[in-house]
Structure 1
Amino acid sequence: MIATPRRLVVKSAALAATLLWMGAAAPWAQAAEESPDAMIQRLSDEVLSTIRSDKSLQNGDVERVMAVVDSKIMPNVNFTRMTASATGPSWRKATPEQKQRLQTEFKHLLVRTYAGALKQVSDQTVEVKPLRSAPTDKEVVVRTVVKSKGEPVQLDYRMERTPGHGSGWKIYDLNVLGVWLVDNYRPQFAQQLNSGGVDALIKSLSERNQTNVAKGSKG
């Protein structure tokens, strides 16, 4: 069974992580024209405003969150790379159908894990740290701090520049309180992969998601 990471479910960390899944709520048409740090600042400000004005998001409505993720966010996150990195070498051996199932189950796990954190949005602001990069860099780390009345929360983004159609900066990992999401899940995935291969991992993720659905239906 895939366990929910303890360090990522504390309230402040979970709230910060929602900025990845909600952070593209505004159109990314300007992505190719913006620096990655400016883009993260703009999107962070816009998403906080969006959450505060949408009661269904504030209430952690999973179906509403999922709809926003599918329509606004997934096209702007390299989720294939994120899932592949968490899966490790077994990704290359997986069939196209298995890869799609892994991405679907992993996405559902993340969305359901963090949907409840939207209730915590109140007076938070996001400060983007100065970006140290060259114009020719294809990958960068954008470092931010989520501030509120409590302790500030570190939230960093790994981003890549994508060429060709739909070019611009895309997120492929995030760091909450010093823990990179991919690094956090990789050893959990490895346990399932070592015991039963890709199908075992898919089954474990699916069971975890079904458990989360059952808990949600019970209120």
Structure 2
Amino acid sequence: MGSRILGALLGAFLLFAASAQGAAEVGPREVVVGVVDSLKAAVNKHDAEKDPEAVKLLAEMRGILEPVVDFGFIARVVMGPAAKKATPEQMAKFESIFRDSLVSTYAKGMTGYVQAEMAIPPLAPEAAGQNRVAVRQEVTTSSGVQVIDYTMAKNRTTGEWKLINVVLNGINLGKTFRSQFAQAYKQHKGNVDLVIAEWAKELPAKP
């Protein structure tokens, strides 16, 4: 299900994130720019520690991503209409599975992108004062240039910028996952537990 396209879509997914400290003090572009060095350091440390199961790397990636990625919002969007019928327990379970899937796949696939050339153009003038903006990142690898648009939303209460969607080379990740969930939901005749269980079966293996 979701993990089937993660390898293609998420090799460069979430090449940003920041610690919660100071997140409210910077704009969305600064959040994206500031994290690259942190990710490189995490991967380099992982390589130096010879951690074949990537246990430490996964833990570090999760700690970096959780304060900045709005996993709860993304999970609700992916579930679509089913989210209104799901119990709080089902929502929490799917959010946890979805988060683990993204973090695990990202940690597995990110190494090949750490040394890539990355450029983050300035935001368009019309982005000023907006509570939702797209931050573009251009990643140049041996296979070409990938264009990643991160949809960042500003929390009106805390002022923090958080990721709510990613569009990679024109492919909207949120819409793709939502379509997959909807198909499984229809296949299982509205049984949310079965859909969640099916999604959990395809959690990526540890790197």
**Structure 2 length normalisation: TM-score?**
0.85
What letter matches 1:119 in structure 2?
T
What letter matches 1:172 in structure 2?
I
Instruction: Give the unaligned 5+ runs of structure 1.
Output: none
| Aligned counterpart, 1:152 | 145
What letter matches 1:195 in structure 2?
Q
How many residues are matched?
204
What letter matches 1:139 in structure 2?
R
* Larger relative helix fraction: 1
RMSD value over aligned CA atoms? 2.6
| Aligned counterpart, 2:199 | 205
Alpha-carbon spacing, 1:159–1:96, altered in 2? closer, same or farther (3 Å): same
| Aligned counterpart, 2:75 | 83
What letter matches 2:11 in structure 1?
L
Matched, 1:136 2:166: no
**Counterpart pick for 1:97 among 89, 94, 98:** 89
Preserved contact between residue 124 and residue 148 of structure 1 (Cα < 8 Å):
yes
**Aligned mates of 1:57, 1:169 — CA distance in 2:** 32
Matched, 1:17 2:9: no
Instruction: Give the unaligned 5+ runs of structure 2.
Output: none
Alpha-carbon spacing, 1:47–1:136, altered in 2? closer, same or farther (3 Å): same
**Aligned mates of 2:170, 2:49 — CA distance in 1:** 26
Q: Map Cα deviations across residues 83-103 of structure 1 (whole Å, 9 max, x no partner).
A: 111110111111110000110
Q: Which secondary structure does the structure 2 equivalent of 1:16 belong to?
A: coil
Q: Which secondary structure does the structure 1 equivalent of 2:122 belong to?
A: coil
How many Å apart are 1:55 and its aligned residue?
1.1
**Structure 1 length normalisation: TM-score?**
0.80
**Aligned mates of 1:192, 1:74 — CA distance in 2:** 27
Q: Which secondary structure does the structure 1 equivalent of 2:162 belong to?
A: strand
Preserved contact between residue 147 and residue 153 of structure 1 (Cα < 8 Å):
yes
Task: Quote the sequence identity (%).
Answer: 25
Preserved contact between residue 74 and residue 174 of structure 2 (Cα < 8 Å):
yes
**Post-superposition, which runs of at least 4 consecutive aligned residues in structure 1 deviate over 6 A?**
56-60
Alpha-carbon spacing, 1:106–1:160, altered in 2? closer, same or farther (3 Å): same
Q: Map Cα deviations across residues 183-209 of structure 1 (whole Å, 9 max, x no partner).
A: 111111111211332112111112222
